[in-house]
Amino acid sequence: MEIRLLTERDFDANIELSQYAFLYTLSEQQKEERRERFGEEKVWGVFEDHELCAKLLLIPLEVYIHGRPVRMGGIAGVATWPEKRRRGMVSRLLRRALEEMRKDGQLVSYLHPFSISFYRKYGWELFTDNKNYTIPVDKLPACQNVPGRVVREVRDLDILQSVYDRAIRRYNGPLVRSRSWWEQRVMNGIPYTAVYYNEAGEAEGYVLYAIEERKWITEEIFWLNETARQGLWDFIVNHDSKLKEVQVKLPVDDPLPLLLPDPMIKQEIEPYFMGRIVDAAAFIEAYPFAPSAESEGDTRFALQIEDRDAPWNDGRWIWTVSTDGSARLEPFLVSGDPELPANPALAALPTVSVTIGILTAFLLGYRRPSELQRFGLLSASEAAAARLDALIPARTPYLPDYF
């Protein structure tokens, strides 16, 4: 069994496996378009006797963590021929991907799971949900006729990205979008666009949408302030004569029901993407913890991480968070290790024991440490969990993209 990067000579085998696994068929033109981009992608495969048996795509990206860009490895297109399944091939691919991401300085990894329980076994955990609304047209908010104007069919990526880049930083975990990502992923197949401009002519919001069978389908919507939000909703409501309902996907902290005259509408919380810390020591060092008063001094924990698929994370650490919000992980010097001297003073540190997936979940803001401690997903005293709550800034995770 061999694991290696696919090359151009493997293109047809890669496409054949993808079409079978994901139940689609590409035209010859689509195949040629993908062939042209194939050299830009990192596709890892498992081979037996020179035959491609399983594969995954590893996408180099960046995401915002508390407003700071962090390198991320996106995993997509995981597929195995059915006769090759249950032989550990995907397990080996995922472990190899973790090694490669660590080498490339990608501190976290995202994927959209076909099965949450499957990827939990390898350290990925849910880190973001979506709130999906279905609003009958008779329950839409009343028009407010706010100042400014909405212009349809604005496809200038500089304008759209200027709004996105400012609006998205209020969330944890969204992509830092490149120009090519906008062109190939965000805008590909979008039927309609509209941009809200304030009275000074500055873009402060946009919506990407479709209208199908009298349903408004919001692909993406962002605004910078309440006036822009209301201006976009006025635009949506002005379609009421041709609609029976409006569908919109928003972050889980969205307050729309408080703003509707009749909030008895369908609301669905949808578990969405999973994340995983790739390199715990490097991630902790890059993470902006909340500063504390100098009189409180540095905070230290004895941290136990369980991570069987990334052995560089697995084990015991001294976790120090300084008063300025910087932090570091250092190997825990324990008794019984012939290479490391004992340090009895460390026994007095508060202990935190956690899987790599749960560590990811609370550092990305999906759940607070004290909540995880109550449900037994984080082993720590109430005091230690409360201290972690104070050190980790609260910010809602949100990822509007898909890959």
> Region 280-285: what's the mean pLDDT?
98
Do 10 and 93 lie in a common domain? yes
CA distance to 17, 79, 255, per residue, from 260 (Å): 47, 44, 9
CA dihedral 360, 361, 364, 365 (to 10 degrees): -150
In a domain, 239, yes or no: yes
Q: What is the pLDDT of residue 344?
A: 64
Do 169 and 300 lie in a common domain? no
End-to-end CA distance of the chain: 28
Of the candidates 393, 401, 322, which has an alpha carbon nearest to the alpha carbon of residue 363? Answer: 393
> Region 285-312: what's the mean pLDDT?
94
Compare 238 and 40 and report the one with higher pLDDT: 238
Of the candidates 80, 96, 103, which has an alpha carbon nearest to the alpha carbon of residue 2? Answer: 96
Given pLDDT bands bounded at 50, 70 and 90, which one contains residue 296? Answer: confident
Given pLDDT bands bounded at 50, 70 and 90, which one contains residue 335? Answer: very low
The pLDDT tens digits of the residues spanning 185-196 come to 999 999 999 999
Structure tokens at 106: 């990608």
Do 23 and 56 lie in a common domain? yes
Do 83 and 181 lie in a common domain? no
In a domain, 126, yes or no: no
The pLDDT tens digits of the residues spanning 111-130 come to 999 999 999 999 999 999 99
Confidence (pTM): 0.93
Q: What is the pLDDT of residue 336?
A: 44
Average pLDDT of the chain? Answer: 95
Amino acid at the residue 289: F
* DSSP category for residue 378: S
The pLDDT tens digits of the residues spanning 359-394 come to 999 999 999 999 999 999 999 999 999 999 999 999
In a domain, 114, yes or no: no
In a domain, 277, yes or no: no
Do 217 and 149 lie in a common domain? yes
Do 89 and 43 lie in a common domain? yes
Q: What is the CATH number for 44?
A: 3.40.630.30
- The last residue of one of the domains, among 237, 271, 305, is 271
In a domain, 65, yes or no: yes
Domains held by the chain: number? 3
Do 15 and 72 lie in a common domain? yes
Backbone angles phi, psi at 301, to 5 degrees: -130, 155
> Region 58-73: what's the mean pLDDT?
97
In a domain, 12, yes or no: yes
Percentage of the chain lying above the pLDDT 90 cut: 93
For the chain, give the longest Cα–Cα distance.
77
Compare 332 and 138 and report the one with higher pLDDT: 138
- The last residue of one of the domains, among 240, 271, 302, is 271
Do 136 and 266 lie in a common domain? yes
Return the SS3 of 375.
Answer: coil
Do 297 and 383 lie in a common domain? yes
Q: What is the pLDDT of residue 345?
A: 58
Do 153 and 67 lie in a common domain? no
In a domain, 124, yes or no: no
Do 267 and 322 lie in a common domain? no
Q: What is the pLDDT of residue 94?
A: 98
Edge-first strand listing for the sheet containing 125-126: 2-5, 42-48, 51-65, 68-80, 108-111, 274-277, 125-126
Q: Would you say residue 30 has pLDDT above 50?
A: yes
Q: What is the CATH number for 338?
A: 3.30.1050.10
**Which residues span the domain enclosing 332?**
287-391
CA distance to 197, 226, 231, 232, per residue, from 147 (Å): 9, 12, 8, 11
d(CA 147, CA 365): 35
> Region 295-303: what's the mean pLDDT?
92
Do 13 and 85 lie in a common domain? yes
In a domain, 400, yes or no: no
Q: Would you say residue 334 has pLDDT above 50?
A: no
